[in-house]
Amino acid sequence: MRSGLVSLLTDFGPDSRYVAEVKAVLLAPAPGATLAVVDLGHAVRRHHVREGAYLLRSAVRSFPPGTVHLAVVDPGVGTERRALVVQAGGHLLVGPDNGLLWPAACSLGQPEFRELVHPDLRRTRVSATFWGRDVFAPAARWLALGFPFEDAGPPVGDPVQLPAVPPRREAGRLQGEVCLQDAFGNLSTNIPGEWLADLPECVWVEAAGKVHAAWQVRTYGDAQVGQLVVLVGSDGFAEVAVREGDARARLGCGPGDSVVLRA
Amino acid sequence: MRSGLVSLLTDFGPDSRYVAEVKAVLLAPAPGATLAVVDLGHAVRRHHVREGAYLLRSAVRSFPPGTVHLAVVDPGVGTERRALVVQAGGHLLVGPDNGLLWPAACSLGQPEFRELVHPDLRRTRVSATFWGRDVFAPAARWLALGFPFEDAGPPVGDPVQLPAVPPRREAGRLQGEVCLQDAFGNLSTNIPGEWLADLPECVWVEAAGKVHAAWQVRTYGDAQVGQLVVLVGSDGFAEVAVREGDARARLGCGPGDSVVLRA
Amino acid sequence: MRSGLVSLLTDFGPDSRYVAEVKAVLLAPAPGATLAVVDLGHAVRRHHVREGAYLLRSAVRSFPPGTVHLAVVDPGVGTERRALVVQAGGHLLVGPDNGLLWPAACSLGQPEFRELVHPDLRRTRVSATFWGRDVFAPAARWLALGFPFEDAGPPVGDPVQLPAVPPRREAGRLQGEVCLQDAFGNLSTNIPGEWLADLPECVWVEAAGKVHAAWQVRTYGDAQVGQLVVLVGSDGFAEVAVREGDARARLGCGPGDSVVLRA
């Protein structure tokens, strides 16, 4: 009995029938095998490839090697953009060639890209508007069931990358970008968590043109209710939070905005 | 090892504990078998049988034959209305006899209806308010695990149908109804997609008492951002959309409203 | 082939990547076994242990014995509060020692509590902010796969309990508390459903300082549209509802508020 795990990220919206149609393809019974699907999120803002890319990157390492990550934020559906499968760190990622898979793939290891062209990997009839169901889902399914990565299609040497400003580390000063916000208003950055060791217990947070005092803590419960804190988030990156409050509202910034943490 | 797929459509609302209770029944471990459940949607407006019926119809054909579709939009719960199981095109559909299953069943093939009365198919204690959990879910489970359709109960010759105005095709003029809107504001109609071949590249869309110019395209990416387009949707029916915009807002109409596409 | 069921309740918010990370741990492929996860709800208000506790209690009995219920509403994450596993009525419950598991455990049978300390039951690296993923989910997984309850850790004799006012039954007068509201505005109380036999067909409902006339019915369909009704809910407790309407809005009360039903 073969078993496999597929994660699913889209911008189709919560409670979308399109998500159901993708899962119908993924979960069609296969003799001697069971797949399970985990929703990584469907509330990515429509066509926000960057938001989807960071969400994917933040979660992939919680999945075991062997997982196939299917991601569809695809403003170019039905046009000439390529369909990709990526192998990195023992994981596979499937989606459009628009940068969506890039940050997650790099965070997992040295990525190897192939174009999804093998005819067995797609539906015989492909609709022009729903590659998620007709191209990406069948490919993810067959790859999860053991179809060899090398047979998916030719290597791709020039996958589309997201323009990214890497985080900067100077004496007592860390500069980066807010990548994600969660339902609690916690802000996740692209500043590696271990860099926080450069800073003292009390740090300054610069964001949206203002400066705020914050405390470095190990966990939310170490702060007072309402206190602004900086800590290593569960994804390994520096996170700005307010205990039982909303850092996004406090700082007035969100994904894509610049943030500085300094002594 | 037997495996099966169950789709689940309700008006219980997203994140509902009632959905969880239905799934608890469906997914109770069974020796030598695994079932998987796919959420078809739970945000159907409360008691809107028609909305649920069209949602079900739009998605069933993405599921493989053998799937059991469980649908519960049931204002008459606990009253005399019958419980049904339908067999059509190799799929089974389970739900109340109020028209909910009718369009999907007809779209899958020649439907055969039976009343769900076999005592093995329901809980020993049936609550008056939650047939989804106590009657429909156990039936869907057992049918997915191989209980014979023919043994579920007597044939039903007069299932409740939804009143429906069929789409009309005249020279250069297609008339129909908006059936569904999605999270992007795309509007799905009951006009067969192949009828669009009757119309030129530039068409007029009449809706909510106004006339709009639109372009026939193959996919969203073929249009300019903000352009109103008409295309064959992923469910095979004519769809009205705005590239990276909201057709529902542009036209001021939604499910249940009449729409005309003409030369 | 071993199979198991895990229910999952959190306050992480719908469409949360944190829920996905928890499921990634639960559903990692295991040779010779398949687990299924059912979402019990993720829209519990942040840190509302009481709301989570009642939601858990309302649904657990719809799951089969053998189910592992994983619940994470955990304002004290990363601090000294204990991690618990509870055995009751053949079910297991996993979560923080803050009262969250208490009402559900008591409703299932005589509960037996143990502290989750066995090193095999947690990740080797535990983040300070995400015990749901790093401590509770691995424990729930291994327990669902057959790890013996007795080996999880030492017995706990003093688990944290929620302060609760038990419902009161006097001649022609039942007093209790609203525990839950659902998406329809139906209000679930802590008054046992069978106590309603004390009351006549027409009852008075006192809530939020006002008195309303209501009818006792067996199911919603027995009432007129818009009528206020009292009935035995699907969880076995007295429920106040409005047929095709919203009892929460009508009464102006919700979870935590007192309610009296009287002749």
Using one digit for the tens of pLDDT, what is the confidence trace for A208-224?
999 999 999 998 888 89
CB-nearest partner of B184 from A46, A78, A133: A46
Best of C8, C27, C123 to substitute, by most chain A Cβ atoms within 10 angstroms, is C27
Interchain pair A24, B5: CB under 8 A: yes
Measured between CB atoms, which of A40, A221, A239 is closest to C17?
A: A40
Cβ within 8 Å, pair A20-B34: no
Best mutation target among B6, B10, B17, B134 (most C Cβ atoms within 10 Å) is B17
Q: Which of A21, A28, A79 sits opposite B59 (nearest CB)?
A: A21
The partner residues of B60 in beta bridges, in order of sequence, read: none
What is the count of residue pairs from A and B with beta carbons less than 8 Å apart? 99
Q: How far apart are CA C88 and CA B10, in angstroms?
A: 31
pLDDT at A1 over 80: no
Alpha-carbon span A86 to A152, nearest angstrom: 10
Confidence band of A152 (pLDDT split at 50, 70, 90): very high
What do you get for the CA distance between the two ends of chain C, in Å? 55
Give the pLDDT of residue C111: 97
Which burial class, exposed, middle or buried, applies to C249 when counting CB atoms under 10 A from its CB (0-12, 13-18, 19+)? Answer: exposed
Contact criterion met (CB < 8 Å) for A32 and B1: yes
Q: Is the pLDDT of residue A165 over 90?
A: no
Residues of C with CB under 8 A from a CB of B: 1, 3-5, 7, 14, 34, 36, 38-43, 55, 58-59, 62-64, 66-67, 180, 182-184, 218-222, 231-234, 239, 244
pLDDT at residue A127 tops 90: no
- A78 and B1 within 8 Å at the Cβ level: the answer is no
Cα(A256)–Cα(A51) distance, integer angstroms: 9
Cβ-Cβ contacts under 8 Å, A130 against chain B: 234
Looking at the complex, report in whole angstroms how far the Cα of residue A261 sits from the nearest Cα belonging to chain C.
Answer: 20
- Between chains, do C24 and A41 touch, taking CB under 8 Å as contact? no
- Indicate the burial class of C226 (C-beta count within 10 angstroms; 0-12, 13-18, 19 or more): exposed
Domain ranges of chain B: 5-151, 168-262
List residues in chain B touching A: CB distance below 8 A. Answer: 1, 3-5, 7, 14, 34, 36, 38-43, 55, 58-59, 62-64, 66-67, 180, 182-184, 218-222, 231-234, 239, 244
Residue C214 has a pLDDT of 96
DSSP label at B44? S
Which pLDDT value is given to residue A78? 72
Tell me whether residues C182 and B16 touch, CB distance under 8 A: yes
With b meaning 16 or more CB within 10 Å and e meaning fewer, what string describes C119-151?
eebbeeeebbbbbbbbbbbbbbbbbbeebeeee
CATH number of the domain at B168-262, please? Answer: 2.40.30.90
- With CA atoms as reference, report the closest residue to B128 among C227, C239, C214, C198: C239
- Give the tens place of pLDDT for each residue, A172-186: 999 999 999 988 899
Q: Phi, psi at residue A58, to the nearest 5°?
A: -65, -25
C2-10 and C33-41 beta bridge pairing? parallel
| Among candidates A36, A55, A183 on the partner chain, residue whose Cβ is nearest the Cβ of C27 | A36
Rounded to whole angstroms, how far apart are CA atoms A116 and A89? 19
Under-50 pLDDT residues of chain C? none
| DSSP letter string, A55-105 | HHHHHHTTSPTT-EEEEE--TTTTSSPPEEEEEETTEEEEEESSSTTHHHH
CB–CB of A29 and B4 under 8 A? yes
Chain B: residue nearest A20 by CA? B40
Residue A173 pairs in a beta bridge with: A170, A262
- Give how far B192 is from chain A: nearest CA, Å: 15
CA nearest neighbour of C77 among A195, A188, A223, A247: A223
C5-151 classified as CATH 1.20.1260.10: no
- Closest by CA to A114, choosing from A157, A71, A85, is A85
Q: What is the pLDDT of residue A174?
A: 97
* Chain B contact partners (≥3 CB pairs within 8 A): A, C
Out of A121-130, A253-262, B181-190, pick the least confident.
A121-130
Q: Do B219 and A79 touch (CB under 8 A)?
A: yes
Q: Which residue of B has its CA nearest to A126?
A: B234
- With a pLDDT cut of 90, the percent of chain C lying above it is 80
Between A166 and A9, name the one with better pLDDT.
A9
Do B5-151 and B168-262 show the same overall fold? no
Closest residue in A to C128 (Cα) is A219
Averaged pLDDT, A237-257: 93
Residue A77 pLDDT class (50, 70, 90 cuts): confident
Cα–Cα distance measured from residue B69 to residue B104, given in angstroms and rounded to the nearest whole number? 10
The confidence score (pLDDT) of residue C109 equals 95
* Facing A129 at nearest CB: one of B4, B41, B233: B233
CB within 8 Å: B62 and A21: yes
Partner residue facing A39 (CB), from C20, C25, C47? C20
pLDDT at A229 over 90: yes
Nearest-Cα distance to chain B for C125, in Å, is: 31
Predicted local distance difference test score (pLDDT) of residue A222: 87
List all chains that touch chain A, counting a touch as 3 or more CB pairs closer than 8 Å.
B, C
What residues of C are in contact with residue A64 (Cβ under 8 Å)?
24, 28-29
| Partner residue facing B219 (CB), from A23, A32, A78 | A78
Interface test with B, best of A11, A18, A19, A21 (most B CBs within 10 A): A21
Q: Which residues of A touch C (CB under 8 A)?
A: 1, 3-5, 7, 14, 34, 36, 38-43, 55, 58-59, 62-64, 66-67, 180, 182-184, 218-222, 231-234, 239, 244
Gap between the Cα atoms of B84 and C236, Å rounded: 26
Residue A225: closest C-alpha in chain C:
C75
Q: Which residues of C touch B15 (CB under 8 A)?
A: 14, 39, 41-43
Distance between C79 CA and the closest CA of chain A, angstroms:
6
Chain C residues with CB under 8 Å of B133 CB are: 62, 234
Q: Which residues on A lie below 8 Å from C141 (Cβ)?
A: none
Residue of C nearest to A241 (CA): C129
Predicted confidence at residue C31, as pLDDT, reads 86
* Local mean pLDDT, 10-residue blocks, chain B (263 residues): 92 93 96 93 92 95 96 85 96 97 95 96 87 96 96 97 90 94 91 95 95 93 91 93 93 93 95
Q: Across-strand partners of C216? A: C230
Segment A241-258 shows an average pLDDT of 93
Of the candidates B115, B127, B63, B125, the one whose C-alpha atom is nearest the C-alpha of residue B90 is B63
Residue B224 is classified by DSSP as P
pLDDT at A31: 86
**A219:C79 CB<8 A:** yes
pLDDT digits (tens, 9 = 90+) for C70-124: 999 998 777 788 999 999 999 999 999 999 999 999 999 999 999 999 999 998 8
**Closest-CA residue of chain B to A22:** B62
**CB nearest to C130's CB, from A3, A184, A234:** A234
